[in-house]
Chains A and B, each alone.
Chain A
Amino acid sequence: MRLGEAPRGFVGTIVALHQDAAGATSHELEQHLLEMGFTEGARVEILHQGAIRQDPIAVRVDNITIAVRRREAMAVLVK
C-alpha cells in the first residue's frame, strides 16, 4: 500500500521507497524522503490532513511529525 493513499489514522511500517512513483525526479525525491526520516522499518501514522482533497498530510515518522503532500507520499510503500 502507498502512504499517499492511506486514510487519516493509518498506522503502519515503511516497507520501501518506491522509486518509480514520482516520475523523473524520483532519485532526488528518495534522497529527500530519506533525509526526513522515511526509512525502511520506520513506524508511520497519519495524524492530520488538509481541508482540500485531504492534502497535505501530517505523518508521524517514529517520533517526529512531517508534513508531506500525498503526491510525494505515493513513493512510500507501507504495510
Chain B
Amino acid sequence: MTTSDVTGERYNLALVGVPNSGKTSLFNALTGSRQKVANYAGVTVERKSGGFVTPAGRQVTLLDLPGTYSLRGRSPDEIITRDVVLGKRAGEMPPDLVLCIADATNLRLTLRLILELKRTGRPLLMVLNMFDIAKRRGITIDVDAMSAALGIPVITSIAVKKGGADALRARTDEFAGHLPGPTAATEWVPTSIADLKAYQREADRIIRETVTMPTRPDSLTTRVDAVVLHPVGGLVILATILFVMFQAVFSWAAPLMELLSDSFGALGALVAQVLPEGLLQSFLQNGLIAGVGSVLVFLPQIIIIFLFILLLEDFGYMARAAFLMDRIMGGAGLHGRAFIPLLSSFACAIPGIMATRVIDNRRDRLTTILIAPLMTCSARIPVYTLIIAAFIPATDVWGWINLQGLVMFGLYVIGIASALAVSFVIKFFMLRDYQPAPFMLELPDYKLPRLKSIFIGVTTRAKMFLQRAGTTILSMMILIWFLASFPQPPAGAEGPAIDYSLAAMIGKALEPLFSAIGFNWQIVVALIPGMAAREVAVGALGTVYAIEGGKEAADAIGQALASKWSLATALSFLAWFVFAPQCASTLAVIRRETGGTKWMVITFVYMFALAYLASLITYKIAVAAGLG
C-alpha cells in the first residue's frame, strides 16, 4: 500500500457495506479529493483508496471495498472484499479496523453481513449512515442496545454533512488507540445455508429489540416507482431520459467547446507569430496544439455524459433501468444486470467492461463484454461531432429537435441495435448450452444525489481523460506529425508537402483496400493512430489536413473536410465509427477480463468486419442516391 507503514503510525481502515449503503458518499466525505483510483494487482477490480489525518495526527489509509451482501464471493468484486477482510489478498495490508457501513433506514441485510463479518475475527466498527433520513422517517434506533447485541461499537453518521465526517475522524482516534494487535489468520470457512438462516434470524431479532419502524414505507419512493416502474410509462420515461442525455451532450456542451476550440486556435496563431517558420513552428502549431487541442475540446461532452450517469446512479434510478430492461434485453440473450455496464460503455468501454464483473454468470458476462464496445463511447463523440457539424445542417425538425442532435441520436441507436443483434447471434450460434442466470437486484429508496460525491466522481473521470490526452493521445499526435512531415519535399517540389511524406506512402499503399468504402488515403492515415484511441482520428485528420492545407485549414478541420469529402464518404466514415475496430486499450481490457487472447481476437475481427460492411453498404447506397 504505502511505504510509510514503517513508523507504525499509519492505520489501515477498510469500508465494507451492502450495495447502496452510502459507502461511497462516506468515503468521499472522509477523504475528499485525497483519493486514488487504481486496480487491484492482477485483476481489473477498481481499487479506491484515500487518506485522512485524524485530529490527533494519525495518518489513516482508507480502502473503499466493493459492496457485497455476503462473504460468499460470487463475483470478482466480492472475492476482493472477502480476501481483503480476511487478510488473504496479496499486496494489501490486512485492515486494522473494518468500518461496516449501514444504511440506517435499511438494516436487515447489513446486520446479517456484520454477523458474518464477526466470524472473521477482524476488529469491527459499525457506522449507522443516513441517520438523519432515518430520524425523519420516524425510525428510532437504540444505538447502545444495538452495540451491546452485536458486540461491536456502533456510531452514527451523516455522510453528507461536513460535521459528520469530522466527528467520524475524531472517533477513529478513540478506536485506533485501543485496537487489538493484528489478528492471527482466522480459521474462516464459507458460510453455509444453515448459517445464513441463523444469522438472518439473529439479525431480525436484534432489529426487533433495538429498532422501531414506522408502519408505512417510504411514501416518496413508492409514489415515484408507481410511475417510473409502470410497464409502459416506465419505458417511455427511460427512453426520454436517454434522449435528453444525448441532446444535452450535443447542445449544452457547444458553447464551452467553441470557447476551448477558439482558445487553442488563438494559441496556435500566437505560436505561429512568435516563432520563425520552420519545423519547430510546424511541430508546435500543427502537431501539438492542433492535435491535442482537437481532442481536449471534447472534455465538456465527456463531463456531461459522466454527470448524467453518476446522477442517475446516485438517484437510485440505474437499478430501475435494469429492472425495466431485463426482459427486453433477455430477448436478445442479455442479462438485466448487463444494462449498467452497457450504459457505462456510453462513456467508455473500459469502465463498462470492468463493470461486467457484477454479472456472476460467465456466459452472460462474456456476451456483455463482446458487445460493450458497440455502445457509442465518448471517444467517438469527437468524430461524430466533427463530421455531423461539417455535413449535417443545423436545422430544426418539428420546431424543437436539432437535426444534428437527431443524427447523433440515430448513430447511438444503430450502435445499440447492432449490439442487440450481435448478442442474439451469440445466443444462437455460440455458447448454446446455457442456463439463464438469476436476476436479483435491490431497488434502493430514491435519494437526492450528493453534490460533492458527484463532483468528485466527475472530476476523477475528467482527470483520467486529461491524463490520456497527455500521454497516449499526445504521443500519437507527435507520431502522426512526424509521419506527415517527413521526409520533407525536395526543393522546388510542386503540390502540398504531405504528398511526399511517410504518411502519404502508408495511406496510399492501403488506399485500394478502403477505396470501395469511399475512404481516401488521408482517412486511412487517420485510422491507424485511431487504434490507440478513437478520438485521435480527429486530431490526426486535423494534422494531415493542416499540413496539407496550411494554417487556415487547421482552424477549421470541419470546413476542410466539407470541401474535400463527398457526403457519401462522410456517411461511410460515420458508419465505420459506429463499429470502429476499437482502441488498443479496450482490446487490452478484454484480454485481461476474459483471461486470454482468444476473445480479444474475436472482438477485433468481428468489429472490423462489421465496420467494413456497414461502410460499404452506406457508401454504395449514398453513391447510388447521387451523394457521391
**Which residues of A pack against B, CB within 8 Å?**
22-25, 27, 29-37, 39-40, 47-56, 58, 60, 62-69, 71-72
Contacts and interface: CB of A to CB of B under 8 A. Distances in A.
A64 to B, nearest CB: 6
A72 B443 CA distance: 17
Nearest to B229: A48
Contacts of A25: 435, 438
Most A CB contacts (10 A, CB to CB) among B197, B327, B328 go to B327
Interface of B: 69-70, 72, 74, 106, 108-109, 193, 196-197, 200-201, 204, 213, 217, 221-222, 225-226, 229-232, 234-235, 319, 322-324, 326-328, 331, 336, 435-436, 438-444
Contacts of B213: 63
A62 B200 CA distance: 12
Contact of A67 (B217, B235, B331, B443): B443
B441 A67 contact: yes
Contact of B323 (A31, A35, A56, A64): A56
Given A37-B108, A55-B327, A63-B213, A49 B231 contact: yes
Contacts of B74: 32
A32 B438 CA distance: 9
21 contacts: A29-B438, A30-B193, A31-B72, A34-B193, A36-B440, A39-B197, A39-B204, A48-B225, A48-B229, A50-B323, A51-B324, A52-B327, A52-B331, A56-B327, A56-B439, A64-B109, A64-B442, A67-B441, A68-B440, A69-B326, A71-B436
B106 A63 contact: yes
A79 B219 CA distance: 26
Given A31-B72, A56-B327, A67-B440, 11 more contacts: A29-B438, A34-B193, A36-B442, A47-B222, A47-B229, A48-B230, A50-B326, A64-B442, A69-B326, A69-B436, A72-B440
Contacts of A29: 438
A71 B196 CA distance: 23
Contact of B443 (A22, A31, A34, A65): A65
Contacts of B230: 48
Nearest to B233: A51
Contacts of A34: 193, 196-197, 200
A55 B439 CA distance: 11
Given A55-B327, A56-B326, A27 B443 contact: no
A30 B200 CA distance: 14
Contacts of A24: 435
B106 A33 contact: no
Contact of B225 (A27, A39, A58): A58
A39 B202 CA distance: 12
Which 9 A-B pairs rank lowest in CB-CB distance, beginning with the nearest? A51-B231, A52-B327, A48-B229, A65-B443, A67-B323, A35-B69, A67-B441, A72-B438, A34-B196
Contacts of B72: 31, 35
B323 A62 contact: no
Contact of B217 (A22, A32, A60, A68): A60
A63 B109 CA distance: 10
A65 B222 CA distance: 10
Most B CB contacts (10 A, CB to CB) among A40, A58, A60 go to A58
Contacts of A40: 197
A56 B336 contact: yes
Contacts of A39: 197, 200-201, 204
Contacts of A36: 69, 109, 440, 442
A67 B226 CA distance: 14
Nearest to B199: A34
